[in-house]
Amino acid sequence: MLDPLANVLTAIKNAEQRRLEYIDIGPISKLIIKVLEILKRENYIKDFEILAPPEEKGGKVRIYLLGKINDIGAIKPRFPVSVDQIEKYEKRFLPAVDAGILIISTSEHGLITNKEALKYKTGGILIGYVY
């Protein structure tokens, strides 16, 4: 069973450990692009550029790294989470309070972080974590 998001997050983790400046990854999807936008906004990656859109043979993206990631990964199985359960999963996947983020897919707001989910008082499906 293939999980392109897990493959991308693992590639980022491996590149960070090897202290690379950037990596090229494919295939990509709209979900992967949204996750990269969150990682950029939260200052875990420097930037990314789409070399080929997802519609063109799976697409390709170049990710410029900062060297700030200790661990990153996809959460499988994808747990549904309510607002009341977010703290439980923060304790499970993150090393400390306010250290890292959970990425949550919501029906109302799209992909958001655990902090935004608490602000909006909404739950969703856990997608991944980074710290």
Task: Say what the pLDDT of residue 85 is.
Answer: 95
Domain boundaries, the chain: 4-65, 75-130
Q: Which alpha helices (DSSP H) does 28-79 contain, by range?
A: 30-41
Domain with residues 4-65, CATH architecture: 2-Layer Sandwich (3.30)
Task: Say what the pLDDT of residue 97 is.
Answer: 82
Taking only the tens place, the pLDDT of each residue in 71-101 is 999 999 998 999 999 999 999 999 998 899 9
The answer as to CATH 3.30.1490.10 being correct for domain 75-130 is yes
Question: Rounded distance, CA 9 to CA 81, Å?
Answer: 21
The phi and psi torsions of 87 (rounded to 5 degrees) equal -60, -35
Q: What does the angle CA 127 – CA 101 – CA 73 come to, to the nearest 5 degrees?
A: 45
Question: Rounded distance, CA 12 to CA 25, Å?
Answer: 9
| pLDDT < 50 stretches in the chain | none
> Whole-model pTM?
0.92
Task: Say what the pLDDT of residue 58 is.
Answer: 85
H or E segment and range at residue 130: strand 124-130
